[in-house]
Amino acid sequence: MKARQKRLVLVAVAILGVGAAATLAISALQSNISYFFSPSQVVKHEAPTDRVFRIGGLVSKGSLARAADGLTVTFDVTDLAQTVKVSYTGILPDLFKEGQGAVARGRLGPDGVFRAEEVLAKHDEAYMPPEVADSLKTAHAEGVAKAAANPPNLQGAARPEKVTQ
């Protein structure tokens, strides 16, 4: 075998090795990816039912309930348009509370309850995960559009009196 042929074989083996490594890395990453869905998307059945994904929004006030075992917690996550019930067994983050933003990673059960494997709470008052902020803005815009399209019927309602000072 000439020196040129040896170099070509070496280059071919190197290319095959890099291709194999890239294939293994992509397949490993593919199995660990968890996409983000808002509660509105989950209610519309846009979220997968057979794989792990993340859901986020605000924890509804008055929805936090602890089971008798002390570790299982259920709460509602909302994007101000739709609400999804979440069940989590474990210790919640210290900053987790009602009315605050949260992101949970897990699977959607056949009963429509999201079974969380991990729950994250926002870490300060100014921060909200970008996905949660975007879904809240979208839900708010949809709510405003619906309200504009269907104004309340005010016929027969009392007129506000003019206040003079």
Q: What is the pLDDT of residues 116-150, one digit of tens each?
A: 999 998 765 555 667 777 777 777 777 666 666 76
Q: Could you tell me the two tokens for 122?
A: 């926002």
Q: Which helix (H) or strand (E) holds 149?
A: helix 130-149
| Helix, strand, coil fractions of the chain, as percent rounded to 5 | 35, 25, 40
Domain boundaries along the sequence of the chain: 36-147
CATH of 36-147, one of 2.60.40.10, 3.30.70.2500, 2.40.50.110, 2.40.50.140: 2.40.50.140
Which tokens hold the place of 160? 């506000």
DSSP E strands, 20-160: 36-37, 53-59, 65-66, 72-78, 83-89, 101-108, 114-121
pLDDT-based confidence at residue 154 (cuts at 50, 70, 90): very low
Torsion (CA) 120, 30, 44, 77 in degrees, nearest 10: 0
pLDDT at site 33: 76
Q: What is the rounded average pLDDT for all residues in the chain?
A: 83
